[in-house]
């Protein structure tokens, strides 16, 4: 709040009404409903539901399918985050360094941001297709019998590749703006002190980029967990079968295909807790960053 | 070794020297060009494929060179009715995508600016409480609470309506958060001056705050439009009526034809539809990239 403020009693309430009513109806009601139904067992034919306490949660903990998805999600998140951050950082460092064509490179490296995840997934399906995919052909000629949708890890590779590809632009944009925010004087001083490019990067640039990097880490984890839904759905062609699945995709599959409202809601609640933890970490960090700058 | 090349690099950039090849710079460009190709080539191949007939693609996969079916495929993708009830063509989906993108962006900006204005510029007893109520929504993406959201909106009879499609997506406070940050950075003197001049809250908002926020609104609009246009999960669930399909939702139909496998899918048309689905957001991001980058990187500070 500003020190000087209007003290009109009803206007601010009127201004807040649209926002508050939308989130009440479309956020708090569903979220509360999720928590509530996670303690109930829904009759599959819609004849009411029975209170089962924590059974939906204990079922999850003992479901091998769910634990498989959990393991895959952790692995998927780590690989996607690591690869897309790494590639984007390399490209941003180079784009920050070159003098000629810097703007063109920036455009060429960021425009994929605007492509919808399922559209990227469709491109992945075409490139990795079992019989006619161009990459599949390439793998075959190298003696690797790549089968999308049949082999668990082959499908995982397609999901990871497309997810990394789709995420590079965001990371690139943030890294580049982080690099450009490093003052000239610091760079020049570093250049005099330490002419070796590699050392300078690890000693000066990398620590100064750490706040951006940490922020991006959270962004990328969230991306790998939630925003890859469209990619995964298109790559498994809506029929997961024995293919790898992320936790969010399982919420959808169990809820809408399996009709298991209680189980799906329990999964939602588990994810809510996960996001909550991530956000607390992020907020604590952001507070610290404000002191830095 | 590295020392030598690097110091020459500095020397040439500050003082003019005779041109000679700097291998390090060449290496930088090679990396950047490879990166650009990685981004460009898959999309180019889909674009090239959109000019071929289905049989060629069925036999050989994505194409590198352009074929002769360009106008046929785009014509079919845009104007031919398809799907289960034959009630949707590319133009309908394009219109729906525009409605979703614009409705979402405009709705979110208006709602967000109003709420942020109330929180920052008014003495309000429960301001902190309202703040937390609103910002908790940043925690849970729609994907997490998807099934209950669907049940609730279904029970309100909003399935297969534009309201049911757009409004639930607005129920996250990203724009509010963004405008709150921005309003807080607006100098205090402005509102003091405005109050001395006798400007009321409406006048201050319309005549001072909105013009000041112009670039921020533009940046927010671009990000939100692209976000709305690219929505997939929510439209997939809430619109079963084909006349409400968006382009991105239409991709799912293509995939299902693909998985079905009983007939040769219209690959060329599918590629054309994918291109149509990506062109508007990509063009917006490229043309307004300065605003877009500013909005994206500043929204998170």
Of all residues in chain B, what percent carry a pLDDT higher than 90? 31
Residue A292 has a pLDDT of 44
Q: Which of A22, A281, A282 should be substituted to probe chain B, the one whose Cβ sees the most B Cβ atoms within 10 Å? A: A22
Distance (Å, rounded) from C-alpha A218 to C-alpha A213?
Answer: 9
The pLDDT tens digits for A182-221 are 888 888 888 887 777 778 888 888 888 888 888 888 889 9
Give the CB-side neighbour count of residue B230, counting CA atoms within 13 A.
Answer: 28
Instruction: Kindly determine whether residue B143 and residue A119, on different chains, have CB atoms separated by under 8 Å.
Output: no
Distance (Å, rounded) from C-alpha B256 to C-alpha A237?
Answer: 6
Q: For residue A239, what are its two tokens?
A: 């029929």
A174 to chain B, closest Cα gap in Å: 6
Here the ipTM equals: 0.87
* Closest by Cβ to B274, choosing from A119, A196, A268: A119
Residue B301 has a pLDDT of 44
Cβ neighbours of B150 in A, within 8 Å:
256
Indicate the Cα dihedral angle B175, B181, B186, B188, nearest 10°. Answer: 130
Split at pLDDT 50, 70, 90, the class of B125 is confident
* Closest by Cβ to B191, choosing from A4, A111, A264: A4
* Closest by Cβ to A19, choosing from B58, B134, B255: B134
Q: Which of B26, B30, B148, B231 should be substituted to probe chain A, the one whose Cβ sees the most A Cβ atoms within 10 Å? A: B148
Write out chain A's pLDDT in tens, 293 residues: 566 678 777 888 888 999 999 999 888 898 888 888 889 887 666 667 788 888 889 888 888 889 999 999 999 999 999 999 999 999 999 999 888 888 899 999 999 999 999 999 999 998 998 888 889 889 989 988 888 888 889 999 999 999 999 999 999 999 999 998 888 888 888 888 777 777 888 888 888 888 888 888 888 998 998 889 999 999 988 777 788 999 999 988 888 877 778 888 899 889 888 888 887 887 776 655 544 43
User: Residue B3: pLDDT above 50?
Assistant: no
Pick the closest to residue A224 from A206, A244, A254 (CA basis): A244
Pick the closest to residue B19 from B8, B3, B32, B6 (CA basis): B8
Distance (Å, rounded) from C-alpha B187 to C-alpha B200?
Answer: 18
Residue B262 has a pLDDT of 63
Q: What is the pTM of this model?
A: 0.88
Q: How many residues does chain A have?
A: 293
A171 to chain B, closest Cα gap in Å: 10
Instruction: Kindly determine whether residue B277 and residue A116, on different chains, have CB atoms separated by under 8 Å.
Output: yes
Cβ neighbours of A100 in B, within 8 Å:
29
Chain B contact for A110, CB < 8 A? yes
* Closest by Cβ to A248, choosing from B133, B143, B300: B143
DSSP string, B206-226: IIIIHHHTHHHHHHHHHHHHH
């Amino acid at each position: 709040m500003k020190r000087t403020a209007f003290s009109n009693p009803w206007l601010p309430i009127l201004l807040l009404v649209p926002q508050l009513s939308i989130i009440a109806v479309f956020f708090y009601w569903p979220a509360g409903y999720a928590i509530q139904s996670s303690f109930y067992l829904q009759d599959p034919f819609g004849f009411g539901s029975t209170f089962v306490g924590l059974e939906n949660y204990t079922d999850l903990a003992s479901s091998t399918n769910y634990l498989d998805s959990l393991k895959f999600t952790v692995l998927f998140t780590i690989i996607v985050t690591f690869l897309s951050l790494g590639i984007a950082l390399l490209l941003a460092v180079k784009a920050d360094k070159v003098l000629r064509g810097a703007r063109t490179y920036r455009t060429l490296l960021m425009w994929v941001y605007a492509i919808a995840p399922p559209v990227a997934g469709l491109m992945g399906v075409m490139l990795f297709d079992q019989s006619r995919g161009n990459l599949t052909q390439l793998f075959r000629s190298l003696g690797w019998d790549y089968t999308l949708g049949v082999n668990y890890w082959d499908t995982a590779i397609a999901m990871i590749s497309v997810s990394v590809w789709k995420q590079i632009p965001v990371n690139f944009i943030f890294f580049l703006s982080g690099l450009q925010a490093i003052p000239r004087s610091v760079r020049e001083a570093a250049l005099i002190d330490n002419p070796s490019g590699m050392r300078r990067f690890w000693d000066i640039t990398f620590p100064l980029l750490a706040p951006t990097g940490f922020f991006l880490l959270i962004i990328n984890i969230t991306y790998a967990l939630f925003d890859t839904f469209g990619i995964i759905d298109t790559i498994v062609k809506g029929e997961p079968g024995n293919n790898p699945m992320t936790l969010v995709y399982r919420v959808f599959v169990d809820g809408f295909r399996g009709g298991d409202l209680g189980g799906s809601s329990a999964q939602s609640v588990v994810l809510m807790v996960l996001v909550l933890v991530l956000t607390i970490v992020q907020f604590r960090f952001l507070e610290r960053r404000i002191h830095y700058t | 070794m590295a020392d030598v090349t690097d110091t020459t690099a500095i020397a040439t950039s500050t003082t003019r020297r005779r041109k000679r090849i700097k291998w390090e710079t060449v290496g930088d460009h090679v990396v950047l060009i490879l990166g650009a190709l990685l981004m460009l080539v898959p999309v180019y191949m889909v674009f090239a494929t959109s000019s071929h007939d289905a049989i060629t693609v069925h036999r050989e996969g994505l194409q590198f060179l352009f074929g002769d079916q360009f106008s046929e495929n785009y014509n079919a993708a845009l104007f031919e009715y398809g799907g289960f009830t034959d009630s949707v063509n590319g133009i309908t989906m394009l219109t729906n995508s525009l409605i979703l993108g614009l409705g979402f962006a405009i709705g979110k900006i208006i709602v967000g600016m109003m709420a942020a204005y109330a929180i920052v510029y008014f003495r309000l007893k429960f301001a902190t409480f309202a703040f937390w109520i609103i910002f908790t929504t940043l925690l849970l993406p729609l994907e997490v609470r998807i099934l209950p959201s669907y049940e609730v909106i279904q029970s309100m009879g909003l399935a297969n309506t534009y309201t049911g499609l757009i409004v639930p997506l607005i129920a996250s406070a990203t724009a509010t958060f963004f405008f709150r940050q921005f309003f807080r950075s607006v100098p205090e003197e402005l509102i003091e001056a405005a109050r001395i001049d006798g400007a009321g809250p409406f006048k201050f908002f319309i005549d001072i705050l909105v013009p000041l926020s112009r670039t921020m609104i533009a940046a927010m609009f671009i990000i939100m439009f692209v976000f709305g246009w690219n929505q997939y999960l929510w439209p997939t669930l809430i619109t079963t009526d084909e006349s409400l399909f968006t382009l991105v939702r239409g991709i799912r139909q293509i995939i299902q034809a693909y998985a079905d496998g009983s007939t040769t899918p219209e690959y060329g048309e599918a590629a054309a539809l994918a291109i149509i689905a990506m062109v508007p957001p990509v063009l917006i991001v490229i043309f307004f990239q300065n605003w877009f980058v500013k909005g994206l990187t500043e929204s998170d500070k």
